[in-house]
Structure 1
Amino acid sequence: MTRKTVIVGGGIAGLATAALLAEEGDDVVLLEARAELGGRAGSWSSDGFRFDTGPSWYLMPEVFDHFFHLLGTSAEKELDLVRLDPAYRIYSGDDAPVDVVSGREASTALFESIEPGAGGRLDAYLDSAADAYELAVSRFLYDPYTTTEGLRDPALLKRLPTLLPLLARTLSSHIEKRFTDRRLRQILGYPAVFLGGSPYAVPSLYHLMSHLDLDDGVLYPRGGFVEVIAAIERLARARGVRVETDAEVSRIVTEGGEVTGVELEDGRFIAADHVVSTADLHHTETKLLAEKERTYPEKWWDKRVPSFGALLVLLGVRGELPQLAHHTLVFTEDWRSNFEAIFGKDTRIPDPASLYVCRPSATDTGVAPEGFENLFVLVPVPSDPSLGHGGVDGDGDALIEAAADQVIAQIAETCGIPDLAERIVVRRTISPGDFEADLHTWRGNALGLAHTLNQSAMFRPKNASRRVAGLSYAGGSALPGIGLPMCLISAELVVKRLRGDSSPGPLPEPARSAV
């Protein structure tokens, strides 16, 4: 009999899971609570500007390639990918801006020019990062951890003397032993933010992230990340997936410890043999399931660490902004206090803040009218929805709009754009209160569970309920973790579990002649 599957949530994890399960032969219905698909990888348009409202770095391209290969196509066919040069620009304190160009030769030359001897140390650092990345992809990220088979592999056990120290110390301490210059430390430490955390908290194993931007390269899908969502939606629909928007699930229905379907806010019941929730895991567990059915009850969450929250500032700006690259990172000099403000005991919106500015109009003429620029600004802030809600044209809550004003002033001063505020013609803010209200995220966090040691790999929530048969999970709070590539892998882990595949590596791809 054909398995009937309901997918809860239409972000990248939901769409990817739907496409893969439809490829497996399932009869799939995808239900998205909002009017548009994409989830965190959303989109907003106004007056000829189109903004991505979430992910903006295309990293781990081989994960995207592998996912598309599983569906008989390729990233090259589905997306128009552009390599960014420079990969990004940094402003740090009063120092001159630094352009970071991907590639071993360019990155080691940059480090050497800033700190004599750092080029050779970076070369060794990136060798280690590449080795750790290969280990992660081949041994950890695609492992469903249904058994300890992958962890007991003799080849992995031989590497424990190298691996264990990387787990025992923080990323910041790993970097600070090797590099002195503040800017170099920040270039190597910033990837912790991609993991939802702080370089002072995530394990140094995650130095592997530097392999992605310094060795591998940074790409951009022309049209924006909405095109990634559109491509996966297209593949899902082509396999018969039925997609409903404005369809919020209010309850996962069970009988005798087994899933039987879902109930919607409009009162409908949709029967299913299998339900995959890609909604925020805390919302799924504490709102969509009865207390006795929860694998991760509220007391479990009391001991967990969310990613940072985010203040997003979307700006349409008149005139050109050559001071900003496609990706620009603005770092404060006192970095530790910046992260302490976000993750410490007495949290607050950092001021000044370390922040990220995406200027996609540097690469893509379709995201802004001619003669204008498109800016997406992300400010990591505490995961605290009580900070308030954002709005359009300054009509958000006072604290949020005041913080946005300060961020705009900071960019203007640091990056040498004194008239930036006067040139803004479109403005929208999004805050932790909006993440909680619109996406049901736990504590208004921006990305999911932070990648601390006890929230990584086998310690992260698994992709299936322990209490309800036929209920699976995918997305940024479940295995393997945060980010678009991780969400694609989480969809694949659902398939692996259903196949009874406990291997640590990715699924075999179909013959390349089919691509």
Structure 2
Amino acid sequence: MKKKITIIGSGFSALAASCYLAQSGHDVTVFEKNDSIGGRARQLKSDGFTFDMGPSWYWMPDVFDRFFADFGKKTTDYYELVKLSPAYRVYYGVDDFIAIADNLPEIEATFEKIEKGSGKILHDFMMEAQSNYNIAIKDLVYRPGVSPLELVTVETAKKVGQFFSNISKDIRKKFKNEQLIQILEFPVLFLGAKPSDTPSFYSFMNYADFGLGTWHPKTGMFDVVRAMENLARELGVKFQVKASIEKIIVENKKAKAVVVNGKRIDSDIVLSGADYHHTETLLDLEHRAYSEKYWESRVFAPSSLLFYVGFDKKVENISHHALFFDVDFQQHAKDIYDEPRWPKEPLFYANFPSLTDKSAAPEGMESGFFLVPLAPGITDTEALREEYFDKIITRFETLTQQSVRDNIIFKRSFCKNDFVTEYNSYKGNAYGMANKLFQTAFLRPKLKSKKVENLFFTGQLTVPGPGVPPALISGKLVSVLINKQS
């Protein structure tokens, strides 16, 4: 039966859900509080420079392919992909970096040069990681997190031990070189938790990295947002921006309407792709499924300090993606998860899209994106932002052996306070709820409200978890639940 469906927010999960629900014949309208769609994946254009404001890594291309294939489409119908070579660099000191190739044999050779015997060990590790990927991404993550039995399969039974060990321990049993260990621990940071708190089974992220490679949509990640919006519109989805949801109206324990900019909009189904905690605050207290105590007890992925920077010259000695691990990896992790505070010596990430996409900066110039992971809920001031920009740009100049500070002609920052203001993000987290063992699958907040009929959720605080590919999957999962009810 055709339903009138209201979707709150326009991030990847909401866009995905809108497409599936419209395909099923429903009347779907997406309401976005900001002035452009995309949620955290918005685009910033200024002074001739273009920046992806949020996600910048295109991993797991098969998940994107599977999404568009569900509509009889291909990614190439909407955007072009470039495989990055090298995928990224990891900097450890002056003239000391490791370049990760765009194929596994070369990566194995790189490991072998650094630690004798590690090439073969990496090969075997990756075979196991690929097996985990096939089980997880092709099967488990497409289950809605309703029952613990979803995790019980013939394949997972063979790997049960991997759910009770952790990535860090497993990697350190196999490799001794600290630089190689950090490279292998890095991908699980996308899941929002320390490697020592992430189950070994999540080594499938290493296959996503080394096995499938790192890609870049030709003119940035916003290409994907634009593609999904275009597909949604082709399917009949309607969009309203600058449309702030002020309340979800519940009558007889059923979601009946939302209040948008002071106006009541009746609906058969309300689906929120906005922050889960924030969405529940739009309900009267008795209709909320999770208490403040519950949210306080959860482990959240980091917040981030971001800088969007335009340079009036080309930047040298750098790759499209670059990780700066020249300081204590473990200490920074403690400063995020164990004793939340601004890290004394932060690791950071830099991304130079104009190396791949010439339209991202004026001719002869460069666009750069810098990110420092931070504890959620941390104090955020302009003075601290500037202090940390000075820290990372000084190290960037030293490690890449060039002067760039005086060539900055555009700079904008984005941090915890902005995540709260722009995205209603709980504690200003950037990636959602961490995928720890006891926050996985059926142990995450539910796609369907436990207290209010016709109220559903999607996105990185519910299943499957953080990241762009999981967001696409989350949109599909919730649409299946809604269609079953309809």
Q: Shorter-chain TM-score category?
A: over 0.9
User: Do the aligned partners of 2:305 and 2:374 also contact (CA within 8 Å) in 1?
Assistant: yes
Equivalent position of 1:198 in the other structure: 194
1:369 maps onto 2:354 in alignment = no
Matches within 5 A, 1:318-467: 318-345=312-339, 347-388=340-381, 397-417=382-402, 419-467=403-451
TM-score normalised over the length of structure 1: 0.92
Pairwise CA RMSD: 1.5
1:361 partner amino acid: S
Which of 208, 211, 217 lines up with 1:215 in the alignment? 211
SS at match of 1:434: helix
Matches within 5 A, 1:40-439: 40-94=40-94, 96-147=96-147, 150-153=150-153, 155-156=154-155, 159-161=156-158, 163-264=159-260, 266-285=261-280, 287-345=281-339, 347-388=340-381, 397-417=382-402, 419-439=403-423
SS at match of 1:342: helix
User: Do the aligned partners of 2:328 and 2:345 also contact (CA within 8 Å) in 1?
Assistant: no
User: Do the aligned partners of 1:249 and 1:262 also contact (CA within 8 Å) in 2?
Assistant: yes
Equivalent position of 1:394 in the other structure: none
Measured in 1, the distance between the counterparts of 2:478 and 2:293 equals 26
User: Do the aligned partners of 2:94 and 2:398 also contact (CA within 8 Å) in 1?
Assistant: no
Cα offsets for 1:132-160 (capped at 9, x unmatched): 1111123320001334553444x23xx42
Q: Aligned pairs, how many?
A: 485
Measured in 1, the distance between the counterparts of 2:11 and 2:103 equals 32
SS at match of 1:97: strand
Measured in 2, the distance between the counterparts of 1:366 and 1:261 equals 43
State the 1:169 CA deviation.
2.0
State the 1:399 CA deviation.
1.1
User: Do the aligned partners of 1:79 and 1:227 also contact (CA within 8 Å) in 2?
Assistant: yes
In structure 2, relative to structure 1, the CA distance for the partners of 1:182 and 1:198 (3 Å cut) is same
SS at match of 2:463: coil
Task: Name the stretch that deviates more: 5-14 or 288-297.
Answer: 288-297
State the 1:47 CA deviation.
0.6
User: Do the aligned partners of 2:51 and 2:360 also contact (CA within 8 Å) in 1?
Assistant: yes
Q: Percent identity?
A: 35
Equivalent position of 2:3 in the other structure: 3
Cα offsets for 1:174-217 (capped at 9, x unmatched): 11111111110111001122112221222222111110111111
State the 1:318 CA deviation.
2.0
SS at match of 1:34: coil
State the 1:96 CA deviation.
1.5
User: Do the aligned partners of 2:316 and 2:400 also contact (CA within 8 Å) in 1?
Assistant: no
Flag structure 2 segments of 5+ consecutive residues without an equivalent.
Answer: none
State the 1:104 CA deviation.
2.1
Measured in 1, the distance between the counterparts of 2:414 and 2:483 equals 40
State the 1:407 CA deviation.
1.2
1:359 partner amino acid: F
SS at match of 2:142: coil
1:70 partner amino acid: D
2:146 partner amino acid: T
User: Do the aligned partners of 1:385 and 1:436 also contact (CA within 8 Å) in 2?
Assistant: no
User: Do the aligned partners of 2:145 and 2:463 also contact (CA within 8 Å) in 1?
Assistant: no
2:432 partner amino acid: G
State the 1:124 CA deviation.
0.8
State the 1:385 CA deviation.
4.8
SS at match of 1:356: strand
State the 1:238 CA deviation.
1.4
User: Do the aligned partners of 1:223 and 1:366 also contact (CA within 8 Å) in 2?
Assistant: yes
Cα offsets for 1:312-339 (capped at 9, x unmatched): 0111012222311011111034211111
SS at match of 1:387: coil
1:401 partner amino acid: E
